[in-house]
Structure 1
Amino acid sequence: MKKLNYFSKITFLLIFCFFSNQTFAQGDVSELIKSGPEDAAKLAKAYLNPFFKGLGFGMNSGWYNSAKAKNLGKFDLRIQASAAMVPSSDQSFDIRTLGLSNKTRLRNPANFSTPTAFGANNEGPELVLYDNNGTEVGSFNMPAGSGIKFVPSPQVQATIGIIKNTDVSIRYSPEIGKSEDYGTVQVLGFGIKHEITKLLMPGKTEKIIPIDIAIAAGYNQIKYNYQVAQADQVDDSNSGQDLKQRVEGKFSGYTFDAIVSKKIALFTPFFSIGYNTAKTDLGLLGNYIVRTSAPTVISPLPNSPDKFTTFTDPVKFKQDDIAGVRSSIGFSLHLAIFRLYGAYSIGEYQAYTAGIGLGIGK
């Protein structure tokens, strides 16, 4: 079990360290929020779009590798990972299409394309921020992409046979990680599969057409929490205060599938088709103090101090990431108590899943 916990910790942290440290680094956050919560949310959603889609598609993968349900009390434990491939259309986006306010403008209007989180590892165009008087108060470059073209999604899953022709699966991880480093992650998921071969082919028909047919459903949820490192405040009057800056996210997905498989000695290929959805509930929470205007030479008090504004919970959004048909083809290979699994899925994204496991009984 220690090995499984270690694997879960490492793989989940690999997913989220980029998300927390690069996308929401303290300096970039302050610059981004200067444009106002609405613009900040639009930029964050567009930048992280393939992460949300890929994670949702990946965590809906790998619930099963056969239509055959386990017998009562028989079980297996597996470790697997899915890689959702990010299409080229989701590796960059056009800033002009986001409908940003007049307070957030491109420095060079001709340079409008910027990488998403899983796009090219090149810094994006410069955005200039203005106050209500049209005075420039700051600027920042959109972050580079990771250069990675897939979104990983690991799972640790246990499956056990319960009533006749039915088995259930559980995905679970206690809160892992350290909030001050990369954040903490907690995973919870439930799945159920019911074999309907005899209902569809009663009597001797199942011997004439020797395949297994089942229906299945699964729900997966990932909770994420990251405490943003407390930086020195630009507004000295608030120095030393706990501003409770943090990132909180909940990513969830459902999948409903029909499965057909055929056992051939130790090898069982399968095909499935179904419908899956994924949602994101994400917030950049706490208080963020940023300079929103600067003194000007035409002011009666040209040496007056800068103006600071506190934004509370500046970025919050809920959205549907994927909703549509998906199909999968794959296999399971039984070698005594050892199991090998593999699958390919196609839908809004494409995903590859591979895993190993231990099992007792059929």
Structure 2
Amino acid sequence: MMKKIILLLTLCSFSFGMAQSNLNDILAAGLNDAERFTTDWIAPVTEAGIYSISNGWYNSADAKPLGGFEISIIGNLTGFKNKDDKKSFTLNTADYENLTFTDGSTSKQVATALGDIEGVSVAINALVEGQPVSTEFELPSGLSSEDFNFIPSGYIQASVGLIKGTEVKARFLPKINTDDVKIGLYGFGVQHDFTKHLPADKLLPVAISAVIGYTNLSGEYDFSTTDVISGENQRIDAKFSSWNFSAVVSTRLPVINFYGGLNYITGKADTDILGTYEIETVAQPIVYTDPFSISNKVSGVSGNIGTKLKLGFFRLNADYNIAEFSTFTFGINFGFR
């Protein structure tokens, strides 16, 4: 359990292999069945991951003046506790070439990577790639089965004020490299405060800005060897990218301020199943190398409201973002001006 917790925190928004490590067993059913199942299983966690990394681009609509800066440590918690429609999907064996349920069912709800349905056994008794395959195994469950109901993401972000109400931003997560996980994140953004162009700018009680932010997360998770599938270098390689286009308004008070935004998020997740997978048969083994890739696109509108406390160089902020996957964002900030 502790290893899985560490992996979850390390993997941030792309949490694929933690609940169970037997996703690769599905390759015993052949490439078409494996790709169909993995596409449905992984889609919700990639969607939640894109929403998670897209947040935290602003904590005020009041752009920093020339030379003003802020360094932030930002964390996001993207919840899915009540997203039952994202925790399971219907597996109809008529849509599969070689996969059947051991209890004779033809259709059943099974877990996604976010779900908690366990103990679903499937069988393969068919010719796969011209070779007879006969085996049974349990389908992988998801994060809810480990009592996790959120996906975390986090990074360091820096903002610097330029002239004419423009502020540039950059975010990154230093490369993390363990035995099972490799992950890194970077991003850049720009904010423009339209109220800075008004003659009575300093007298206005609110500021209005537009913010554009791009985030890229890449990572790799190594599978564990299972009884069904042997091989080498079995791993998932994933790349997430997202754009966030926001309209932001905030108050302009000395200590405590409130801010809110309307955001349009669009992103893409590319997931590659890599390595060598060897399925034993009564004749010669079936070997797949880098078997398939999956691409998911996500887009949606979100709205958030938050507050920021400013105490000299030290600032705290928190906001809640309502979207297809809602996110609580918090930041610890150190800034000048």
Match of 1:37 among 19, 31, 36: 31
1:106 aligns to 2:101 (yes or no)? yes
> What percent of counterpart residues are identical?
27
Note closer, same or farther for the CA distance 1:28–1:273 as it changes in structure 2 (3 Å cut).
closer
1:60 matched residue in structure 2 = 54
Query: Which amino acid is the alignment partner of residue 89 of structure 1?
Result: D
Query: Which amino acid is the alignment partner of residue 110 of structure 2?
Result: T
Q: What is the CA deviation profile of residues 33-52 of structure 1, one whole-angstrom value per residue up to 9, with x for unaligned ones?
A: 11112221222222222211
CA distance in 2 between partners of 1:153 and 1:139 (Å): 36
1:278 aligns to 2:267 (yes or no)? yes
CA distance in 2 between partners of 1:232 and 1:128 (Å): 14
1:20 aligns to 2:13 (yes or no)? no
Note closer, same or farther for the CA distance 1:141–1:346 as it changes in structure 2 (3 Å cut).
same
1:352 matched residue in structure 2 = 328
1:315 aligns to 2:285 (yes or no)? no
Note closer, same or farther for the CA distance 1:144–1:168 as it changes in structure 2 (3 Å cut).
same
The farther-off stretch of 40-49 and 156-165 is 40-49
Contact conserved, 2:173 with 2:185, CA < 8 A, in 1?
A: yes
2:195 matched residue in structure 1 = 197
Contact conserved, 1:166 with 1:193, CA < 8 A, in 2?
A: yes
Higher strand share: 2
1:303 matched residue in structure 2 = none
1:182 matched residue in structure 2 = 180
Alpha-carbon distance, 1:164 to partner: 2.6
Query: Which amino acid is the alignment partner of residue 337 of structure 1?
Result: F
Trace 1:216-235 onto structure 2 (pairs within 5 A): 216-228=211-223
Counterpart secondary structure, 1:13: helix
Alpha-carbon distance, 1:246 to partner: 2.9
Match of 2:306 among 330, 333, 355: 330
Contact conserved, 1:157 with 1:171, CA < 8 A, in 2?
A: yes
Note closer, same or farther for the CA distance 1:48–1:286 as it changes in structure 2 (3 Å cut).
same
1:118 aligns to 2:114 (yes or no)? yes
Match of 1:265 among 221, 243, 254: 254
CA distance in 2 between partners of 1:329 and 1:17 (Å): 26
CA distance in 2 between partners of 1:17 and 1:53 (Å): 9
Alpha-carbon distance, 1:93 to partner: 1.5
Counterpart secondary structure, 1:73: coil
CA distance in 1 between partners of 2:267 and 2:88 (Å): 21
The farther-off stretch of 126-135 and 220-229 is 126-135
CA distance in 2 between partners of 1:234 and 1:128 (Å): 14
CA distance in 2 between partners of 1:16 and 1:83 (Å): 9
CA distance in 2 between partners of 1:263 and 1:53 (Å): 35
CA distance in 2 between partners of 1:174 and 1:357 (Å): 18
Query: Which amino acid is the alignment partner of residue 260 of structure 2?
Result: F
Alpha-carbon distance, 1:77 to partner: 1.1
CA distance in 2 between partners of 1:114 and 1:233 (Å): 20
Query: Which amino acid is the alignment partner of residue 116 of structure 1?
Result: T
CA distance in 1 between partners of 2:307 and 2:286 (Å): 57
Match of 2:79 among 75, 82, 85: 85
Note closer, same or farther for the CA distance 1:83–1:99 as it changes in structure 2 (3 Å cut).
farther
TM-score (norm 1): 0.81
Trace 1:234-253 onto structure 2 (pairs within 5 A): 243-253=232-242
1:6 matched residue in structure 2 = none
Counterpart secondary structure, 2:216: strand
Q: How many residues align?
A: 324
Note closer, same or farther for the CA distance 1:99–1:161 as it changes in structure 2 (3 Å cut).
farther
1:131 matched residue in structure 2 = 126
Hey, which bits of structure 1, 4+ residues long, moved more than 4 A? 9-12, 133-136, 227-235
Over aligned residue pairs, what C-alpha RMSD do you find?
2.7
Contact conserved, 1:13 with 1:182, CA < 8 A, in 2?
A: no
Contact conserved, 1:12 with 1:154, CA < 8 A, in 2?
A: no
CA distance in 2 between partners of 1:137 and 1:15 (Å): 37
CA distance in 2 between partners of 1:355 and 1:204 (Å): 31
Q: What is the CA deviation profile of residues 2-40 of structure 1, one whole-angstrom value per residue up to 9, with x for unaligned ones?
A: xxxxxxx987415379623545x3x551x2111112221
Query: Which amino acid is the alignment partner of residue 196 of structure 1?
Result: F
Query: Which amino acid is the alignment partner of residue 102 of structure 1?
Result: E
Alpha-carbon distance, 1:272 to partner: 0.8
Q: Which runs of 5+ in 2 are unaligned?
A: 1-5
Give the greater-gyration-radius structure (CA). 1
CA distance in 1 between partners of 2:202 and 2:260 (Å): 18
TM-score (norm 2): 0.87
1:163 aligns to 2:177 (yes or no)? no
CA distance in 1 between partners of 2:9 and 2:317 (Å): 20
2:3 matched residue in structure 1 = none
Query: Which amino acid is the alignment partner of residue 95 of structure 1?
Result: L
1:73 matched residue in structure 2 = 67
Alpha-carbon distance, 1:139 to partner: 1.7
